[in-house]
Amino acid sequence: MTDPLETLEIIPSLFAADPLRYCEALKAAERSKCRRIHLDIMDGHFVPNISFGASVVAAVAKEFPRLFREVHLMVQNPQQHFEAFIKSGAQRLFIHIELAPEVLEETVRCLQSEAVDWGFAVNPETSIETLQTYRDWVLNTQHLLLMSVHPGFCGQTFIEETYERIKELRTHFPHLKLCIDGGIRNREAQRLQALGSESVVMGSAFFKKVSV
Q: Annotated active-site positions, please?
A: 40, 181
- Contact of 70 with 40, CB cutoff 8 Å: no
- DSSP result, 123-157: -TTS-THHHHHTHHHHHT--EEEEESS-TT-SSPP
Cα separation values, 192 from 2, 70, 163, 199, Å: 14, 20, 7, 9
Residue 199 identity (one-letter amino acid):
S
Cα separation values, 204 from 4, 17, 34, 79, 165, Å: 16, 7, 15, 30, 23
Residue 110: HSE in the Cβ half-sphere, 13 Å Cα cutoff:
16
CA 29, 39, 202 angle in degrees (round to 5)?
A: 55
